Amino acid sequence: WNSQPTEESRQAMYASGKFKKPYCSRCKTSTHWTSKCRRTSNNGTDRPTETKEKPNSSSSSKSKGKPKDRALFAAFGTMNVSASKIPNATTWWIDSGSCFHMCGQKNMLTNTKKPEFNRQILVANGHKLNVEAVGSSHVVLNDSQREISDVKYVPNLQANLLSVSTLIDKGYCVTFDPEGCKIFDEDSFKVEGELVATGSVENGLYKLDAGSSMCANVAESLVPDSHSLWHRRLGHLNHHSMKLLKNGLATGIKFTESRTPTLCVSCVKGKQSRKPFPRDKNKTVAENPLDLVHSDILGPVDPSFSGRKYLLTFIDDFSRKTFVYFLKTKDEVPHYFEIFRALVETETERRIKTWRTDNGLEFCNQMIQSICEKNGIKHQRTVPYSPSQNGLA
């Protein structure tokens, strides 16, 4: 079960000695372990690293040619800046949508020089800003002073932007969490957890690695659906009612109309009706008994005391006399047909000429065929799904 233990059950587990009670040496509390503490020192400052550094690694191997005093640091965005409030001129904003470091105050830069070639910055509203100089800036952190190199001076820029992609190119790792943004040394940084999504770097910007199908679905959702699609969604509704739904009778139904809607084959097949067989006024009845005998079988019905649940009928077309036999199973039809034939032929001293049935397997088998061929009986079978041809039975 995923339910958390209550405080009473947790205290009972600690008292039994099976579980050790947690204790944090930093917070001086017994609510969590020191390894899971959010504080890293007694003065309440946040710890600079997320994981332990690699063992047996010298400072020269960590620096990889970078300045020795480049320690790990963290920047937290805790200020709620509104659109109408101008940010502080000396504040740096960490921006993952910026291609490089940018500054709007030239007095914040040192060692300035002209850019090697003309470069323009494209901002969100489509305007272009010119880069007039490139230099370095210094920022004071909690433990030391850091130099930000290769900063572009852009006049009239309202905020100083610290580019995430540029930091990563220089060997740092940047993370974002509910507490803020943290920048770490690449050598001692490690990420643990399930990978959800990835992004690719293009011209200093991060593009989400999303499949083309997602973009296609978004594009398709903006286009109204076709008339035939809504016709199928609404259970093959008629065109007049669909037009009423679109014109305000319902909400969310949008489709493109056409003067000649596409013919729905399913509607044509499903709404077809079979015309009844025409009544033959010149229909004649058999001239003599046993010239034509109609048969059919009924069941299964509730079984009788002897277990019989099928009824086999024989109707003489001339006299309309009906004979009924009770069967346990359908495979008894040949046996009772022999009994009926022997009975009526003996009583009338005539022979059965034609026997009309449907296409059920109880009437269409080798035993029935053998009986008809042996006694010269013509076996007439109706057209499939046309019980009207044997309507008398």
Asked if the structure places residue 330 within a domain, the reply is: yes
* Residues 202 and 259 reside in one and the same domain: no
Residue 60 belongs to a domain: no
Residue 12: which pLDDT band, with cuts at 50, 70 and 90?
A: low
Residue 129 sits in the same domain as residue 163: yes
If asked whether residues 380 and 319 sit together in one domain, one would say: yes
Extract the runs of DSSP E, i.e. beta strands, from the chain: 73-75, 92-95, 102-103, 110-113, 120-122, 128-130, 133-140, 145-153, 160-163, 172-177, 180-185, 199-202, 205-208, 225-226, 255-256, 293-298, 310-316, 322-327, 354-357, 378-381
Q: Is residue 55 part of a domain?
A: no
Closest CA to 339 of 311, 371, 310: 371
Q: Are residues 253 and 334 in the same domain?
A: no
Max mean pLDDT range (63-72, 145-154, 287-296): 287-296
Instruction: Give pLDDT tens digits for 303-356.
Output: 999 999 999 999 999 999 999 999 999 999 999 999 999 999 999 999 999 999
Asked whether residue 120 is assigned to any structural domain, the reply reads: yes
Which pLDDT value is given to residue 13?
65
Q: Helices (DSSP H) in 189-348: which residue ranges?
A: 212-221, 227-233, 239-244, 265-270, 333-348
Q: In this structure, are 238 and 181 located in the same domain?
A: no
Burial (CB count within 10 angstroms: exposed 0-12, middle 13-18, buried 19+), residue 218: exposed
Domain that holds residue 338: 293-390
Per the domain annotation, does 287 fall within a domain? no
91: domain CATH number is 2.40.70
Residue 184 domain-assigned (yes or no): yes
Give the β-pairing of 354-357 and 255-256.
unpaired
Q: Say whether pLDDT at 28 is over 50.
A: yes
**Highest mean pLDDT pick, 109-123, 173-187, 234-248, 335-349:** 335-349
Whether 100 and 153 share a structural domain: yes
Q: What is the number of structural domains in the chain?
A: 4
Question: Is the pLDDT score of 57 beyond 50?
Answer: no
Please choose, from the candidates 57, 206, 69, the residue with its C-alpha nearest in 3D space to the C-alpha of residue 143: 69
Tens of pLDDT, residues 229-265: 888 888 888 888 888 888 888 888 888 777 777 788 8
Where is the domain boundary, 208, 237, 256? 208
Helix, strand, or coil here: 36? helix
Three-state DSSP at 168 gives: helix
Are residue 155 and residue 72 in the same domain, yes or no?
A: yes
